[in-house]
Amino acid sequence: MVGRHRVGEVLPYRPVPFLDPVDEFFWTGGADGRLRILRCRDCANFIHPAAPVCRRCHGTAVSPEVVSGRGRVATFTVNHQPWIPGSDPYVIALVELNEQKGLFLTTNLVDIDGDDVTIGLEVEVVFEHAGEVWYPLFRPAGTAGAGTAGAAVGTGAGESIA
């Protein structure tokens, strides 16, 4: 067994992102258990990392949208080197969200052994709360209740908060 952790136990601590007016929604939106991604209101393109303009149509009417929180593991690594002092091996994944091809989030996987992770694995978002940030992590889809007590679990799909 390598790299298996529960929410809140992946790393001894997480380097904290600077929240700015453009991306604060992404880092704090998980408070209600829902993942939000910026979306262009002109061409419907999802934009990540958040930017004040759509890279596809160059429209500036962009706003956060609740997404399903579901995706698949596009690729991953089991990281062994303790770059962060005191860390045990952990899984870093590139999750492609179901909403759009190429909509990638770098994240950690929880509730799964590193040896069991495969490219294509279906996953769902689960949030880890620390300070003012709700970090979107992912776990195998359909494993609610498997060791994520206290975690905010992604629900709902397609609700616009624009």
Strands 70-79 and 122-130: antiparallel
Residues 6+ apart with CB under 8 A from 123: 70, 71, 72, 73, 93, 95, 109, 138, 139, 140, 141
From candidates 46, 90, 127, 134, binder to another protein by CB under 8 A:
90
Q: Closest approach of Cβ 129 to another protein, in Å?
A: 13
Mark 103-127 as b/e (b = at least 16 C-beta within 10 Å). bbbebbbbbbebeebeeebebbbbb
Q: Contact between 104 and another protein (CB under 8 A)?
A: yes
Closer residue to another protein (CB): 106 or 149: 106
Number of residues that bind another protein (CB under 8 A): 41
Taking CB under 8 A as the rule, which mask of x and - marks residues 38-77 in contact with another protein? Answer: ----------xx-----x------------------xxxx
Indicate the residue type of 157: A
Using CA atoms, how far apart are residues 50 and 37, in angstroms rounded to an integer?
8
Taking CB under 8 A as the rule, which mask of x and - marks residues 129-158 in contact with another protein? Answer: ----x-x-----------------------
Residues that bind another protein in the complex, under the rule CB under 8 A: 10-11, 13-20, 23, 48-49, 55, 74-81, 83-85, 87, 90, 92-94, 102, 104-108, 114, 118-119, 133, 135
